[in-house]
Amino acid sequence: MSSVGKFSHKKINYGLLCRAAKSPVFSHFSFASILFFIYAASLISNFSIYSAEFRTNEILGGKLFRRIDPQQQQIPSSASLQRNNIIEEESDPLIPPHKATSEERLRWFRRKLPELEILNSTHLSGRFHGRVLELFNNNCSAQFFMVWLSAAQSFGPREFLAIDSLFSASPNGCLLLLSTSMDSHTGYKILKPLHDRGFKILAVTPDVPFLVKNTPTEPWLNELKAGNLDPGSVPLFNHLSDLLRLLVLYRYGGVYLDTDFIFIKDLSALRNAIGAQSMKLSTKIWTRLNGAVMIFDIYHPLLLDFLQEFAKTFNGNRWGHNGPYLVSRVLERLGNKAEYNLTIYPPNTFYPVDWVKIIKLYKKPQTEDEIKSAEDILANISSESYTVHLWNKRTRELKIKEGSVMERLISSHCVICQHITDA
């Protein structure tokens, strides 16, 4: 029970206190001490109320929330992230036991279901739709979405730089961060530097049952919650992230973005677009698409096809099957129909450096050839790209070296620009 709950159940007899104060054995000092105790308890109670109500009073348009200590603002360091990831993997109910069989994993999942609050509507998530509409009713140049289903303590310098970079490119956009952990006092402190500068960002606990309602994925969620569906060996938050991005684009329309990008140009003018990760140079035909950047109108028919594919072919054992591979699968099978009005951009638009070559962007060029290559990469990105994907799955452990292409890119496309070489 919270301190506010405990305090509200205490019965304090103020009359008894007054009579005791008149007693010669009850000194003025004792009476003052008791009054101080009551006052302190009241402060604790008020602070608990403030903490409990914080989530229902998110800040829009840069208005500051009172009583936040500026000295407590900090972004977790890389070292602390590694410790947090170890703890998270040991205790997170969304991460299945290692090397379990399908039957063992299903038994484990059924035991863990009561802990998976994200699959259910709660008092907090029930306000999701209203909070979304409130954010987007702020003269947004574009509606941006990101998903963060890890702990708030794992939201580090690199993720913060991605959001910082987004607002550098699109200062009048509105960003909705779908996250239970960041929809908290801790999450607010992490994002506070952005609020202080007037950027419109809101971390909101998603209401998954509301989002899947009357979509092809509603029966899928019901089966999962009933314990009849193997979630697979890949952590469930990966699959939920793949699903949530499709659902919010379908319900609200806008721009979905992963949290490992640097933004070079404003995406606000793009509509109904997706990017190729790779293509054949000879034919200019894409070979793989990627859903890390997706831009769609509300209720777009292709999103409905994506959701149908997710529910019909869900496979929790293959990384990417329900995400980037799904996008490629559907468009390869159905083709780019005229009704989609879809633009498929070449790799240079969103993914100018692939996941194999990205590593060299973190290193400071040393030789003359390396320096020339770095300048060519920067010039190409500046002229042709909207974003640069950092491929965090491959580069998370890499340090951004001072003087590297990555350091120069970030420092040229950020507002706050803190902890660049720590990211």
Is the pLDDT confidence value at 30 over 70? no
Least confident of 27-41, 138-152, 227-241, 259-273: 27-41
Is the pLDDT confidence value at 250 over 70? yes
Residues 164, 166: Cα–Cα separation, whole Å: 5
The one-letter amino acid at 188:
Y
Mean pLDDT within 70-94: 45
What value does the CA radius of gyration of the chain take, rounded to a whole number of Å? 25
Mean pLDDT within 204-221: 98
Mean of per-residue pLDDT scores for the chain: 83
Residues 175, 167: Cα–Cα separation, whole Å: 9
Residue-wise pLDDT for 383-404, tens only, equals 999 999 999 989 989 999 999 9
Mean pLDDT within 329-347: 96
Task: List Cβ neighbours of 341 (8 Å cut-off, separation of 6 or more).
Answer: 271, 272
What the block records as the tokens of 195 is 């609020």
pTM of this prediction exceeds 0.85? no
Is the pLDDT confidence value at 318 over 80? yes
Would you state the CATH architecture of domain 72-350? Alpha-Beta Complex (3.90)
Mean pLDDT within 376-382: 96
Residues 216, 224: Cα–Cα separation, whole Å: 14
Task: List Cβ neighbours of 16 (8 Å cut-off, separation of 6 or more).
Answer: none
Residue 235 · residue 96 · CB < 8 Å: yes
Residues 184, 251: Cα–Cα separation, whole Å: 24
